[in-house]
Amino acid sequence: MKKLDFIKILAFSIRSCLNKRNKSEKGGKIIIIFGGIIGDSLVFMDALIAMQNYYCKEGKSITLVCRKAVASFLKSVRNDLQVEMLGIDPELFISDYRYFLDMVQTLNSQKWELLISPFKSKMAELIAMNTNAVHKLEMRQEFGSRFFSIEKILNKAAYNHTIIIERDCMAFKCYRILLNKLGITDYSAKLSCLPSYKVKYDFAAKNKYCVVCPTSSEAAKSWELEKFCGLIQYITEYYNLDIYLCGGPEDSEFRELLKSKIQLPDRLYDYIGNTSFNEWVELIRHAVVCIGNDSASIHISAFTQTPSICITPGFFYGFMQPYDLDIVTEQDVLPTCVYAEKACFGCCLKDGKRCAGNKECLENVRKGGKYLCIRDIALNQVITALDKVI
What integer pLDDT is reported at residue 273 of this predicted model? 82
What integer pLDDT is reported at residue 148 of this predicted model? 42
Same domain, 222 and 326: yes
Percent pLDDT > 70 in the chain is 91
Tell me the pLDDT tens digit for each residue of 362-385: 899 999 999 999 999 999 999 999
Per the structure, the count of domains in the chain is 2
Neighbours of 70 (CB within 10 A): 24
Q: 160 in a domain, yes or no?
A: yes
115-119, 335-339, 342-346: the lowest-pLDDT one = 342-346
Gyration radius of the chain over CA positions: 22
Same domain, 374 and 230: yes
pLDDT bin (cut points 50, 70, 90) of residue 67 is very high
Amino acid at 80: D
Q: 136 in a domain, yes or no?
A: yes
CA distances (Å), origin 274, targets 190, 203, 271, 277: 31, 14, 5, 10
Q: 193 in a domain, yes or no?
A: no
What integer pLDDT is reported at residue 281 of this predicted model? 96
Burial of 97 (0-12, 13-18, 19+ CB in 10 A): middle
Omega prior to 249 cis, within 30 of 0: no
Same domain, 228 and 325: yes
What integer pLDDT is reported at residue 354 of this predicted model? 84
3-state secondary structure of 112: strand
Neighbours of 68 (CB within 10 A): 12
What integer pLDDT is reported at residue 345 of this predicted model? 86
118-127, 303-312, 354-363: the lowest-pLDDT one = 354-363
Same domain, 157 and 63: yes
What sections of the chain are H helices per DSSP? Answer: 3-18, 38-57, 68-77, 90-93, 97-107, 122-130, 150-158, 171-182, 225-238, 253-261, 277-285, 296-303, 347-351, 359-366, 372-375, 379-389
CA distance 314 to 341: 7
| End-to-end CA gap in the chain | 46
Q: 41 in a domain, yes or no?
A: yes
Q: Tell me: pLDDT of 146 over 90.
A: no
What integer pLDDT is reported at residue 296 of this predicted model? 94
CATH number at residue 252: 3.40.50.2000
Supply the pTM of this predicted model: 0.93
Average pLDDT, integer, range 56-77: 95
Q: 3 in a domain, yes or no?
A: no
Q: 201 in a domain, yes or no?
A: no
3-state secondary structure of 247: strand
Average pLDDT, integer, range 150-166: 83
Phi, psi angle pair for 33, to nearest 5°: -105, 115
Average pLDDT, integer, range 264-289: 89
Same domain, 178 and 210: no
CA distance 370 to 124: 29
Same domain, 344 and 302: yes
Tell me the pLDDT tens digit for each residue of 235-250: 999 999 999 998 876 6
Q: Tell me: pLDDT of 20 over 60.
A: no
CA distance 112 to 125: 16
Residues of the domain holding 272:
206-389
What integer pLDDT is reported at residue 254 of this predicted model? 67
Q: 13 in a domain, yes or no?
A: no
Same domain, 243 and 114: no
Eight-class DSSP state of 353? S
Amino acid at 365: V
Average pLDDT, integer, range 182-199: 95
3-state secondary structure of 242: strand
